Structure 1
């Protein structure tokens, strides 16, 4: 990974720690208190051993040190418990805030942007990658402070007793962070590649599960199994490379720590045998000094070893942060209606007229999808939009829904669209697409999605309008009947009519419909169109469609081809003109 990128990601990670609140500071403070308790515990143990072995004192004479030792052990247990609690809470709050930021960003960018990646890739970002930030905040950041404080505290108490032991500790301590940095250079890059592989595998697997019936029918199941195996094997190999780095780091850190402790043990051993005579300020080396230093020696290196262990959490967090930062910092155009939730919500939308002047729909990256086009839709008009696949029809609908940025003028009742509160605008429109999204839950929860306070009678009235009330009434659980994930258990026509009931519940002033009968049989299509015609009577309606019988009663038809508005008019006018619209009709007849 590029060093500048790694630094910027690390800076971003540290900038988010305010989300942890005071819990991160409390966890760090408890770690400091634990360090002090460690010194106190070593002091009591060294005094007890010195008194029993060298001075021949009785346990009663050493009672104060026994009591001190018990207090220190109890204190360390309590501190460890609350430190873990506070650390977890800090990480939990951070994850909640990041997930909220990601979800809010996705809401602002809208479905047109989300469709650029498979659902599995988004699931990987929202779930796994956010989850992998936890240890960075709950463990690594507090350990950064403790890795400096606790060794320094131990050096402060060791040097006045024996400067030679202090020098050994001071000289060997840098070896651990030095090697940790060397290992960390590759760990962040390995984690980044691992997350990329996981995201790719998640998206690949989700697409294949959703299209399993298609794969079976085209006899591609075996081939896709091999591709999934290859993607899984790629993820496995990358995961193992990350684990190898983690195990290598831990092994070497343990080696240097053990070597340093061994040097101290040899020094004190030879000093007690009178083969070495330095480091004691001329006072000699007592058993208390040797035991006190040797007990503290493992604790001196432990914070550094823990930092080395948690350094893997930093590499993991940097790898996860790359795609998170890319998403959260994705530019939002100034005229994006989704950003203007504080704008005008006083405009009267009881009737809706729409006027576009040099209207150009763009992608988030600035690519032109449609336009420039101009059109005028009067309040109460029913307008149909036709064109070949990819002409730009859905892009126009997405812009009207506030999901895509645009250039030029888009006026709603004479007022600029980008100045209107987007939530207020959506409260006055009803949306129905060709592939309705019903959520896992009851019929009632899906119908009342826009108005949770809706009564059961109101729900049944809406279902009656959508000609699906008989099906719901005959269900053993009625309105409490469950709809599974991906609308499993109900037909496409039933799902479309439930979605229609949900749309009718908006009490909308404008209906925006994207081929609402494309996936339906003739009977279901007629039922849906009949309900829509009744509901939209006297209301503005914009519908994308390919079906001729849905065009004859339209007040105006917009014909779009290759992102341009090439014809418009009533059905009879366009037929008599014998232009592109007639060619579309001939293709449908064939």
Structure 2
């Protein structure tokens, strides 16, 4: 799993290859500046301490040293900007890819996804990739190149010091690899726990009123506390490993530097001559090597610091990959038909549909709906009335049989093109955060104010908005907050009127309306008669008496 996730992360870095290359080059150039700076500093100290050089004779070296300090600071700032842009590019591209993939899923697939878990993945878990692409990925390349440059430089000064660095260097990446084996799995578990916790909290918040009515709100306290403590313990376990591993990495590098410092000190005192090109080591040589030793381990130590970003990204990648691997059950024709006819004859021929293998909803169902006809679908709850409307809207697809529009199988028609000819009023009305006016114009963004007001009047929306201070500009909160069920249904009905399609599908349109407001539906049916094809799933006897034809569905037996 870790290897496949890591390979996926590498693939996703392609949109930011230029930014990543610039980040790597700036990091390497910054390291080369440090080498030159160390050489100048060791020379300056040697000249002052042993040769009693004056400020005048060292002026050029001091100016160069100061310029290198500013150059190094500039490189560091530039690398931060470049690294941020590289991670931002990848995260933006990944979010767009996830949203594009979600849009390919059928509506029933989207409704099956847990909102809290999906939100956590698209926000927190994609954001968790930032450290990998901004820090770890460029540092991984720098860790290979820069220590090699420093090692070659040290070998030119003293082969034994270079050999000591060469021997001790692999200990750090080896230890990081051992840490990574455990932390990647811990991070993956942690993100899964976060997704579950987000979904659970959102469900509780959305159902808080129901829980309070049944006196179960306080009973959820212990469950929330257990889930929160579990997440806290997982997080603290990861942090504990991070702190301990950082301390261990520092210990390895400190011991290595100390060994080199002792060796150089003994060389300066004349006790050791092995490894030096001359009989005696100079102070400039010793200082230069000693200054380079920490810089040799610095990229490795930084990689160790960023290694947890790698483990975090690998853990987060699992949930993101799961979204992208969700197979769409949308059936796309190879050459979709762009449907543009206004007079539409709908035929359902021998349609079968089942949500599961052991229970069929529709069995060889056939229906004919001529242009301008009004048809009622009746039957007990759970018999498949809403399913039938969703089949016509192409939200779901029949297992066998076919649905034709003017002789064209709707499976061969482009989804967007077909839905331009259809409006569907669901039982569960979904309005969005914004004004009532905004929610109505969702059906036609180019509609004029007069057209919106006319649709609102026909749907009975103006009957209640006229008593509101902001009229149609009254804001709607989350989950239709601020409106009653009947008012929300009238707003949704105004959307259908404004879209003005030749086919109208209504799912229990009077379920949230009293007798006075139900007359709005009856009046609209009279207005639409002969002009629109209206198919209604209903229990309302008044609607049944008005339609041209009634199809009664019956419960089918379960298979053994």
TM-score (norm 1): 0.89
Match of 2:442 in 1: 449
Cα distance in 1 for partners of 2:305, 2:100 equals: 34
Match of 1:18 in 2: 14
Q: Does 1:508 pair with 2:504?
A: no
Cα distance in 1 for partners of 2:87, 2:144 equals: 22
Match of 1:424 in 2: 417
Residue number among 256, 265, 271 corresponding to 2:267 in the alignment: 271
Cα distance in 2 for partners of 1:305, 1:54 equals: 34
Match of 2:257 in 1: 261
Cα distance in 1 for partners of 2:277, 2:70 equals: 35
Q: What is the CA-CA distance between 1:275 and the residue it aligns to?
A: 2.4
Match of 1:391 in 2: 383
Q: What is the CA-CA distance between 1:272 and the residue it aligns to?
A: 1.7
CA 1:536–1:477: 2 relative to 1, 3 Å: farther
Question: After superposition, what is the alpha-carbon deviation per residue over 1:373-412, rounded to whole angstroms, capped at 9, x for unaligned?
Answer: 3313222222333344443433333333333344332322
Could you tell me which runs of 5 or more consecutive residues in structure 1 were left unpaired when the two chains were aligned. 566-590
Match of 2:148 in 1: 152
Match of 2:396 in 1: 404
Question: After superposition, what is the alpha-carbon deviation per residue over 1:444-467, rounded to whole angstroms, capped at 9, x for unaligned?
Answer: 211111322222111111100111
Cα distance in 2 for partners of 1:544, 1:238 equals: 50
Cα distance in 1 for partners of 2:427, 2:146 equals: 64
SS at 1:357's partner residue?
strand
Match of 2:374 in 1: 382
Aligned pair count reads 556
Question: After superposition, what is the alpha-carbon deviation per residue over 1:151-172, rounded to whole angstroms, capped at 9, x for unaligned?
Answer: 1110111101011111111111
Q: Identify which range, 196-205 or 381-390, moves more after superposition.
A: 381-390
CA 1:158–1:395: 2 relative to 1, 3 Å: farther
Residue number among 15, 26, 29 corresponding to 1:30 in the alignment: 26
Cα distance in 2 for partners of 1:495, 1:370 equals: 29
Match of 1:53 in 2: 49
Q: What is the CA-CA distance between 1:202 and the residue it aligns to?
A: 0.7
Match of 1:135 in 2: 131
Could you tell me which runs of 5 or more consecutive residues in structure 2 were left unpaired when the two chains were aligned. none
SS at 1:552's partner residue?
helix
Match of 1:359 in 2: 351
Q: What is the CA-CA distance between 1:86 and the residue it aligns to?
A: 1.3
SS at 1:557's partner residue?
strand
Cα distance in 2 for partners of 1:137, 1:558 equals: 59
Q: Which has the higher contact order (CA 8 A, sep 6+)?
A: 2
Question: After superposition, what is the alpha-carbon deviation per residue over 1:332-353, rounded to whole angstroms, capped at 9, x for unaligned?
Answer: 34xx25x4597221x3331222
Cα distance in 2 for partners of 1:51, 1:77 equals: 26
Q: Identify which range, 141-150 or 463-472, moves more after superposition.
A: 463-472
Q: Does 1:306 pair with 2:330?
A: no
Q: What is the CA-CA distance between 1:283 and the residue it aligns to?
A: 4.8
Runs of 4+ aligned residues of structure 1 deviating over 6 Å after TM superposition are: 365-369
Contact 1:443 1:483 in 2 (8 A): yes
Residue number among 535, 547, 554 corresponding to 2:547 in the alignment: 554
CA 1:52–1:468: 2 relative to 1, 3 Å: same
Q: What is the CA-CA distance between 1:14 and the residue it aligns to?
A: 0.8
Q: What is the CA-CA distance between 1:557 and the residue it aligns to?
A: 3.3
Residue number among 522, 530, 540 corresponding to 2:523 in the alignment: 530
CA 1:165–1:119: 2 relative to 1, 3 Å: same
Residue number among 495, 498, 517 corresponding to 2:491 in the alignment: 498
- Matching of residues 28-427 of structure 1 within 5 Å: 28-333=24-329, 336-337=330-331, 339=332, 343-345=336-338, 347-361=339-353, 370-377=361-368, 378-408=370-400, 409-427=402-420
Q: What is the CA-CA distance between 1:310 and the residue it aligns to?
A: 1.4
CA 1:522–1:48: 2 relative to 1, 3 Å: farther
Cα distance in 2 for partners of 1:431, 1:212 equals: 29
Q: What is the CA-CA distance between 1:148 and the residue it aligns to?
A: 0.5
Q: What is the CA-CA distance between 1:469 and the residue it aligns to?
A: 1.5
CA 1:314–1:481: 2 relative to 1, 3 Å: same
Q: Identify which range, 296-305 or 550-559, moves more after superposition.
A: 550-559
SS at 2:349's partner residue?
strand
Contact 1:353 1:379 in 2 (8 A): yes
Match of 1:539 in 2: 532
Cα distance in 1 for partners of 2:47, 2:84 equals: 42
Q: What is the CA-CA distance between 1:47 and the residue it aligns to?
A: 1.3
Cα distance in 1 for partners of 2:142, 2:357 equals: 48
TM-align CA RMSD: 2.3
